[in-house]
Amino acid sequence: MGKNDVLRSVLSSIRPSKIERDHAEMFALKLIMVSKQISKSYSIEPMFVGSYEKNTWLAGNDELDLFLLFSPSTHRKKLEEQGLEIAKKIINQMGGTYQKKYSEHPYLCATVKFEGIEFDVDIVPCYDIKELKKIKSAVDRTPHHVRFVKKNLLLPDEVRLLKQFCKAAGIYGADVKTNGFSGYLCELMIINYGKFENCIKDAIKWRAPTVMTITEMDKKKLIDVYKGPFIVIDPVDLNRNVAAAVSIENFYKFIEAARKYMNKPSEKLFFPDKVKSYSVNEIGKEIANRGTRWYAIKFDKPDVTDDILYPQMRRCENIIEKIMNEDGFEVMRKDFYVGELCVMLFEMENWEVPRVFKNIGPNIYTKHAEEFLKHYKDRKIFLEGEYWAVELERKYTTALHLLKDLVSNTDAKLKEKGIPSKIVSNFKNASVVSGSDMIKLIEKLPEDFRVFMRNWFEKDIDIV
């Protein structure tokens, strides 16, 4: 199947049908009428944002985002309170259900049934800012994003293709769990390249850092200002990198997927087969064949949102790796899994060290040499060429001992070591699992953990 045939076939599946569009439009019309009626007495202007308003939504994605635009002179507390008050009235009149969620400030996440179909509706208060340099919160940019895309996007179907392509690669979404490509980023990429294929052709040449700007800007200066693999300057706010959330790994996963498409276009690159899990026996064999040592730290999932949990899990595993490295243990790879349990996994290249180690000190000709000799006068001091050295003893000779000691600390001690605050209480009750107990743990965990393990063993990013 040629590229054009592949894209036509994919579009027929992801472009909303006329029936779906008509149904969404009827629901949106009712929602905006109710919203305007309720908002009128508050002098608030409701506005649709998101992929529905920009006509870049995918089939089956029955979601609408409604923003409530407040005057910039409104006090922050009043915006939050009235925003929720208006949102609740809207959803109650629409006959829906809702729950309060939090981002930079509270908003309403609702479900409304309309003619047999459930729509997800987010109602978010923001400031109606005319000059973006005066924004008061991140969401204040969103109405400007919508206006820019509606004015400049010529081929919305090309965005649909790019979104589905990213979804298939597991890199769609700028949330902290995914660290991937947002919908707005996909829209800007198509505005810049014109078509999906133009974007993919160029992407195979990308290497970090790659800079993309809609307007003319000094790309070398941007690399100095923004740290990250992908820099895409927001055309409505030139001081913001739209691609800031994209992780290094997901940047290269996009390049890998682009390369596969250019080599052999296939619908599978848009609709991949479900990843099969490894069996417990297969995982056991892989672990044994690698000759490394594995440690898992497992604890109950803290009662916090993903927006808090995932960054803190990443920080925590980085801190643990640093602690182990400082004691002479080498972590080859690490990752974490979140389900009902949180599991941090460390594959060790070096998990056992001698009791004593050599600490190289200053050069014999430096003024610090005397301080070194006095500090270690009760130790065995010797020379390594022109450098003083001393034998010291380690507290831990095995990584297992270190980890078990770590999780037995108090909250205060763990925080002192850098364990993040929202997971520290659960972490101090963690179990450290290794050896044959690893297999027992895997047997108890759900199937998606075995999918996680398959991805661990088979990870291979091919970009050349």
Give the pLDDT confidence score for residue 34 in this predicted structure.
98
CATH of domain 17-146: 3.30.460.10
Measure the N-to-C terminal CA separation of the chain; round to a whole number of Å. Answer: 24
Compute the distance between CA of residue 294 and CA of residue 398 in angstroms, rounded to an integer. Answer: 12
pLDDT of 378-405, one tens digit each? 999 999 999 999 999 999 999 999 999 9
More confident residue, 3 or 158: 158
Report pLDDT for 1: 75
At residue 133 the predicted structure's pLDDT band, cuts being 50, 70 and 90, is confident
Across the range 257-269, mean pLDDT stands at 97
User: Which whole number is the average pLDDT over 341-368?
Assistant: 96
Q: Which two tokens stand for residue 371?
A: 């301080």
Distance from C-alpha of 208 to C-alpha of 403, rounded to nearest angstrom: 35
Whether the predicted pLDDT of 429 surpasses 90: no
CA distances from 155 to 172, 181, 193, 196, 235 (A): 20, 19, 11, 10, 18
pLDDT tens digits, 32-90: 999 999 999 999 999 999 999 999 999 999 999 999 999 999 999 999 999 999 999 99
**Residue 230 confidence (pLDDT):** 98
pLDDT for the residue numbered 103: 80
Question: Coil, helix or strand for 125?
Answer: strand
Domain boundaries, the chain: 17-146, 153-269, 280-352+396-458, 356-393
pLDDT of residue 82: 97
Provide DSSP, 342-394.
EEEEEEEEE-B--SEEEEEEEETTSTTHHHHHHHTTTS-EEEETTEEEEEEE-
Predicted confidence at residue 333, as pLDDT, reads 97
Classified by CATH at the fold level, domain 153-269 comes out as Poly(a)-polymerase, middle domain (1.10.1410)
* Whether the predicted pLDDT of 373 surpasses 90: yes
Cα 339 to chain center, whole Å?
A: 16
Q: Which architecture, in CATH terms, is 280-352+396-458?
A: 2-Layer Sandwich (3.30)
Whether residue 116 is predicted with pLDDT greater than 80 in this model: the reply is yes
231's tokens: 């820099």
Q: Which of 226, 241, 135 is nearest to 184 (CA)?
A: 241
Q: What is the mean pLDDT of residues 425-452?
A: 95
| CB crowding 149-188: b at 16 or more within 10 Å, else e | beeebeebbbbbbbbbbbbbbebbbbebebbbbbbbbbbb
Block residue for tokens 């099969």: 276
pLDDT for res 2: 84
- The rounded distance, in Å, linking the Cα atoms of 98 and 37 is 20
Q: If you average pLDDT over residues 410-419, what whole number do you get?
A: 95
b/e 111-147 (16+ beta carbons within 10 angstroms → b): ebebeeeebebbbbbbbbbeeeeebbbebbbbbbbbe
The whole-angstrom separation of Cα 163 and Cα 184 is 10
Judge whether 82 and 52 are in contact, CB under 8 Å: no
Structure confidence at residue 228 (pLDDT): 94
Q: What are the residues facing 102 on neighbouring strands?
A: 106
What's the pTM?
Answer: 0.92
User: pLDDT tens digit string along 196-236?
Assistant: 999 999 999 999 999 999 988 999 999 999 989 999 999 99
Give just the sign of the alpha carbon dihedral 176, 177, 182, 183.
negative
